[in-house]
């Protein structure tokens, strides 16, 4: 087998002490010089326990059901009634519901050390919620009953309780973008939100641009908190992207009045309570306000914002540096933006960027661009949260803003984004089943990427064919469907073993443990290492029988450049993880039992890795033997007799709230349709027969297009499971694959939409 290098586990950005004394994620540009973090067992640093206080949900009249939904999403039991005094003694495995009318009388007595309180308010009951309760609670979840968006609740609670960390994940990306929406009412954006957000890593809601109608054709001077709360809720219900909450002031191209700084605190603090991921805090605000917001930000992140429209701002100045340093004191991201009139000022900004990075390596990442047409060049060079627009927006948010497609086209013209050939490598059996080429072409088109995409077919056996695609000058990466084992891909391959000076291709931790490769990522090296390729590397690959067909897609020149390394990765496990946590917080899985069915270890491996990331307590296996590398740190028990099945079944009625792992909470099947009866039998055995608040999870990885009689998914739903299928996993996997291959974020909902099924 060819030698392979391992990409170390958890190459999470070091979190150095920042100049404000707290820790920050590493400046993004540093990520360029390090191996980019890939496919660790993470969402950022991985699902974590987060806030371990007892969760108390304050609910409105006749809304007690929301308490059970919170409990189910978190994987806990719940109890209604009682007082705040008792709630603190309940322990972390219980969600306590207290009715709003009761809560207002004793919420002030709660012990903040042991209880975290969420005001769950159904907007149908009227807005705003009780202002006293809003102020007293830690967080506020605004929701609609019909339709109810459970994934919105799952995301809200996972974020506010610190079980996921968007910021770390985003800061590990080489480039990030956010779209500045400029709608007076976000409802206008919702029908197109999937298209609008292609290429964005976050969505900005410009609160100052919202226009709240007063009913007589007039609009309120500033939108009320009530209106803003509903707008944030509506946006979050329809996008999975983190939200940036901005109240831009009148002096910085916004509409928020500047006569009362406390107003900013009121809105921005409420945004933290609503679980908004990024809060834009302007630098002119008094230090007391900036500090309080920074200290109270919980799991939200602060984007310090400075804009200069005077036309006199100079990047090479003491003032620019002191603005940077002042911003850094209370920020997770520093945003500095100025209007310029001379193209050279773009170079001055680049000098400022590299100088501050060198002199203040511990400072938060800098997002800095110049405004106006002259400043557009800087928008192509900035790498941290570049603000972008979209042709479908009513107005641009700032002069000179570009769309993601325009930035990519500019980068391509400047030689910064060379045209590559990217492949979907299928086998004869999957080629017709997965018509992904049109989708990739659509994405590349939408994003203005210059690349060519082609689906190519590999021969049944041997790595030879795959290396033919890889060993080309313009090779830009590939996904493999079906996945191929590391051994099958690299064994006996002079090409793979010759990479990296004979060290072999780089393996992500996920790929190493799962043993299956579904993504090949190209990591260009620096020109100085151009001589690292071994003499033995073939300079011209064997000609592939299908070369006629791939010739039409690109230049197909032989010879991967010598200084290029290939990272062998696995995206499927991320697709599985995202599917399992779409409607459930990670804690729903922590310590609980799972069943995995598959006819081979290769088919089961990605699911096992995802379950390991979710810290399940035990995995029962059917039909395969768990490879030792994956079994490490997991409790595995094969179901090899009816007795073992019976024992697992008796481990607790639903596994929730009981000591130990309980009976299986999640069943994942990778068995084909021909074994549907066996799968159906198992979901019946482990089903919880239904009440909505004890739902378990069933994931069918078999490629079933249409529901059919005896379909395990249907039986699972009848047996009290929330059922997910291969289509969900495929869409989430494609999101991950695109991130790895082209560094761009394409929302899950867009993938589903483009593959013919709308989500909402």
Ligand X SMILES: O=C1C[C@@](O)(C(=O)O)C[C@@H](O)[C@@H]1O
* Nearest-approach distance from CB 623 to ligand X, in angstroms: 53
Residue with tokens 């990442």: 365
610 binds ligand X, rule: CB under 6 A: no
Contact 506, 517 (CB under 8 A): no
- Shortest distance, CB of residue 308 to ligand X, whole angstroms? 11
Using the rule CB under 6 A, which residue among 206, 238, 270, 458 binds ligand X? Answer: 206
Are 561 and 530 a contacting pair, CB within 8 Å? yes
Q: How far is the CB of 248 from ligand X (least distance, A)?
A: 6
CB 20 within 8 A of CB 51: no
Residues numbered 704 to 723 that lie near ligand X (CB under 6 A) are none
Q: Does 397 bind ligand X (CB under 6 A)?
A: yes
Helix (H, G, I), strand (E, B) or coil at 54: strand
Part of the chain binding ligand X (CB under 6 A), chosen from 15-23, 110-118, 394-402, 675-683: 394-402
Q: Detail the DSSP E strand segments found in 84-201.
A: 94-99, 115-122, 139-143, 177-181
Distance CA 747, CA 470 (A): 27
Residues in 661-680 at the binding interface with ligand X, rule: CB under 6 A = none
- 14 CB neighbour count, 10 Å cutoff: 11
- Applying CB under 6 A, does 209 fall inside the site for ligand X? no
**Min separation Cβ 404 and ligand X, Å:** 13
Give the binding-site size for ligand X (rule: CB under 6 A).
16
CB under 8 Å, gap of 24 or more: what pairs does 225-231 form?
A: 225/128, 225/266, 225/267, 225/270, 226/127, 226/128, 227/127, 228/267, 228/270, 229/123, 229/127, 229/128, 229/140, 229/142, 229/270, 229/274, 230/123, 230/127, 230/142, 231/185, 231/186, 231/205, 231/207
Position among 110, 335, 431, 458 found at the interface with ligand X (CB under 6 A): 335
Q: What's the closest the beta carbon of residue 181 comes to ligand X, in angstroms?
A: 9
Measured CA to CA, the distance from residue 495 to residue 506 in angstroms comes to: 13
Residue 7 or 235 with smaller CB distance to ligand X: 235
Look up residue 394 and give its two tokens. 């009513």
Nearer to ligand X, 364 or 515 (CB): 364
Q: Which positions from 20 to 59 touch ligand X by CB under 6 A, shown as an x/- string?
A: ----------------------------------------
CB of 253 to ligand X, least distance (A): 6
How far is Cα 180 from Cα 202, in angstroms, rounded to an integer? Answer: 9
Inter-CA distances, 13 with 32, 34, 501, 738, Å? 11, 9, 26, 22
Are 161 and 54 within 8 A, CB to CB? no
Report, in Å, the least distance between residue 399 CB and ligand X. 7
User: According to CB under 6 A, which one of 201, 204, 711, 736 is a site residue for ligand X?
Assistant: 204
Choose the binding region for ligand X from 39-47, 397-405, 433-441, 610-618 (rule: CB under 6 A): 397-405
Of 55-63, 151-159, 281-289, 396-404, which part binds ligand X (CB under 6 A)?
396-404
> Rounded to whole angstroms, how far apart are CA atoms 592 and 35?
34
Decide whether 337 or 588 has the Cβ nearer to ligand X: 337
For 201, list phi and psi in degrees, rounded to 5. -100, -15
Nearer to ligand X, 204 or 446 (CB): 204
Q: How far is the CB of 402 from ligand X (least distance, A)?
A: 9
Q: One symbol per residue from 243 to 272: x for binding ligand X (CB under 6 A), - otherwise; what is it?
A: ---x-x------------------------
Task: Name the residue nearer to ligand X (CB basis): 397 or 577.
Answer: 397
Q: Is 398 in the site for ligand X (CB under 6 A)?
A: yes
279 part of the interface to ligand X, by CB under 6 A: no
The least CB distance from residue 174 to ligand X, in Å, is: 20
Cβ 358 to ligand X shortest distance, Å: 25
Nearer to ligand X, 199 or 387 (CB): 387
Closest CA to 746 of 379, 196, 238: 196
Q: What is the C-alpha to C-alpha distance for residues 638 and 625, in angstroms, rounded to an integer?
A: 8
Beta strands in 328-392 (DSSP E): 333-339, 366-371, 386-389
- Does 390 interact with ligand X (rule: CB under 6 A)? no
Strand-pair partners of 457: 426
Q: Which residues contact 416 (CB under 8 A, 6 or more apart)?
A: 380
**What is the contact mask toward ligand X in residues 296 to 315, using x (rule: CB under 6 A)?**
---------x-x--------
Smallest separation (angstroms) from ligand X to the CB of 406: 13
Closest CA to 577 of 567, 586, 568: 586
Least Cβ distance, residue 343 to ligand X (angstroms) = 17
Select from 63, 401, 626, 737 the one that contacts ligand X (CB under 6 A).
401
Contacting range for ligand X; rule: CB under 6 A; set: 43-51, 89-97, 395-403, 691-699: 395-403
Interface pattern 144-183 for ligand X (x via CB under 6 A):
------------------------------------x---
Q: Does residue number 387 form part of the binding site for ligand X (CB under 6 A)?
A: yes
The DSSP letter of residue 125 is G
Closest separation between CB of residue 204 and ligand X, Å?
Answer: 6
Q: Nearer to ligand X by C-beta: 176 or 571?
A: 176
For residues 137 and 369, which CB has a smaller minimum distance to ligand X in the complex? Answer: 369
Asked if residue 371 binds ligand X (CB under 6 A), the reply is: yes
CB atoms within 10 A of CB 105: 10
Q: Which residue is nearest to ligand X (CB)?
A: 398
Task: Give the SS3 label for residue 390.
Answer: coil
Binding window for ligand X (CB under 6 A); candidates: 99-107, 344-352, 393-401, 503-511? 393-401
Does 205 contact ligand X by CB under 6 A?
A: no
DSSP string, 669-725: E---GGGHHHHHHHHHHH--TT-GGG-EEEEE-S---S--TT-HHHHHHHTTEEEEE
Three-class SS of residue 152? helix
Query: From the CB of residue 543, how many other CB atoms can be counted at a distance below 10 Å?
Result: 10
387 contact partners, CB below 8 Å, separation of at least 6: 177, 178, 179, 180, 204, 369, 379, 397, 398, 401
Cβ proximity to ligand X: between 331 and 456 the closer is 331
- Give contact residues for ligand X (rule: CB under 6 A): 180, 204, 206, 246, 248, 280, 305, 307, 335, 337, 369, 371, 387, 397-398, 401
């Amino acid at each position: 087998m060819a030698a392979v290098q391992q990409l170390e586990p958890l190459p999470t950005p070091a979190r150095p002490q920042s100049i404000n004394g707290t820790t920050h994620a590493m400046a993004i540009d540093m990520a360029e010089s390090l191996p980019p973090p890939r496919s660790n067992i993470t969402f950022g640093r991985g699902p974590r326990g987060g806030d371990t206080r007892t969760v108390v949900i304050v609910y409105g009249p006749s809304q007690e059901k929301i308490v059970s939904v919170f409990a189910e999403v978190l994987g806990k039991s719940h109890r209604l009634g009682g007082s705040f005094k008792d709630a603190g003694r309940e322990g972390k495995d219980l969600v306590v519901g207290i009715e709003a009318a009761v809560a207002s009388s004793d919420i002030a007595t709660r012990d903040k050390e042991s209880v975290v309180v969420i005001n769950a308010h159904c907007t149908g009951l009227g807005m705003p919620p009780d202002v006293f309760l809003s102020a007293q609670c830690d967080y506020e979840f605004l929701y609609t009953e019909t339709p109810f968006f459970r994934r919105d609740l799952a995301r809200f609670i996972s974020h506010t309780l610190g079980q996921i960390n968007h910021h770390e994940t985003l800061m590990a990306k080489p480039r990030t973008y956010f779209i500045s929406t400029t709608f007076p009412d976000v409802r206008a954006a919702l029908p197109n939100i999937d298209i609008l957000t292609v290429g964005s890593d976050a969505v900005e809601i410009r609160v100052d641009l919202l226009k709240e109608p007063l009913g007589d054709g007039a609009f309120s001077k500033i939108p009320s908190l009530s209106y803003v709360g509903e707008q944030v809720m509506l946006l979050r219900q329809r996008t999975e992207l983190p939200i940036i909450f901005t109240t831009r002031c009148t002096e910085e191209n916004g509409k928020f009045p500047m006569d009362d700084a406390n107003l900013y605190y009121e809105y921005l603090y409420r945004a933290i309570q609503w679980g908004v991921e990024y809060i834009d805090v302007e630098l002119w605000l008094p230090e007391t306000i900036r500090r309080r917001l920074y200290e109270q930000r919980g799991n939200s992140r602060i984007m310090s914002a400075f804009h200069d429209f005077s036309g006199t701002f100079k990047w090479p100045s003491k003032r620019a540096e002191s603005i940077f340093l002042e911003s850094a004191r209370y920020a997770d991201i520093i945003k500095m933006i100025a209007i310029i009139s001379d193209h050279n000022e773009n170079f001055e900004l680049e000098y400022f960027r590299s100088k501050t990075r060198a002199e203040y390596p511990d400072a938060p990442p800098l997002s800095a661009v110049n405004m106006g047409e002259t400043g557009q060049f800087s928008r192509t060079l900035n790498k941290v949260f570049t603000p972008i627009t979209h042709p479908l927006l009513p107005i641009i948010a700032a002069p000179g803003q570009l769309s993601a497609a325009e930035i990519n086209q500019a980068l391509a013209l400047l030689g910064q984004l060379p045209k590559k050939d990217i492949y979907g490598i299928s086998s004869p059996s999957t080629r017709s089943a997965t018509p992904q080429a049109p989708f990739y072409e659509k994405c590349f088109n939408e994003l203005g990427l210059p690349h060519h995409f082609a689906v190519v077919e590999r021969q049944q056996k041997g790595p030879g064919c795959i290396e033919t695609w890889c060993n080309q000058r313009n090779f830009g990466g590939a996904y493999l469907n079906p996945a191929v084992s590391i051994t099958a891909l690299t064994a006996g391959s002079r090409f793979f073993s010759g990479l990296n000076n004979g060290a072999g291709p780089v393996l992500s931790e996920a790929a190493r443990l799962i043993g299956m490769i579904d993504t090949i990522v190209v990591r260009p090296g620096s020109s100085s290492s151009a001589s690292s390729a071994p003499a033995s590397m073939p300079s011209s690959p064997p000609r592939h029988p299908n070369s006629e067909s791939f010739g039409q897609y690109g230049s197909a020149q032989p010879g991967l450049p010598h200084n290029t390394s290939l990272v062998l990765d696995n995206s499927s496990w991320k697709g599985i993880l995202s599917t399992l946590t779409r409607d459930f917080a990670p804690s729903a899985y922590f310590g609980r039992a799972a069943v995995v069915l598959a006819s081979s270890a290769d088919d089961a491996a990605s699911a096992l890795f995802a379950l390991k990331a979710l810290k399940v307590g035990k995995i029962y296996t059917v039909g395969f033997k768990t490879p030792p590398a994956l079994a490490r740190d997991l409790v595995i028990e094969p179901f090899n007799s009816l007795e073992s099945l019976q024992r697992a079944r008796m481990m607790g009625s639903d596994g929730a709230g009981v000591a130990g792992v309980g009976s299986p909470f999640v069943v994942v099947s990778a068995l084909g349709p021909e074994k549907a009866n066996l799968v159906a039998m198992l979901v019946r055995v482990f089903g919880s027969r239904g009440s909505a608040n004890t739902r378990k999870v069933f994931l069918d990885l078999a490629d079933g297009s249409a529901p059919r009689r005896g379909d395990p998914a249907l039986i699972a739903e009848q047996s009290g499971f929330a059922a997910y299928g291969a289509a969900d996993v495929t869409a989430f996997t494609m999101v991950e694959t695109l991130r790895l291959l082209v560094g761009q974020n394409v929302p899950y909902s867009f993938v589903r939409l483009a593959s013919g099924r709308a989500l909402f």
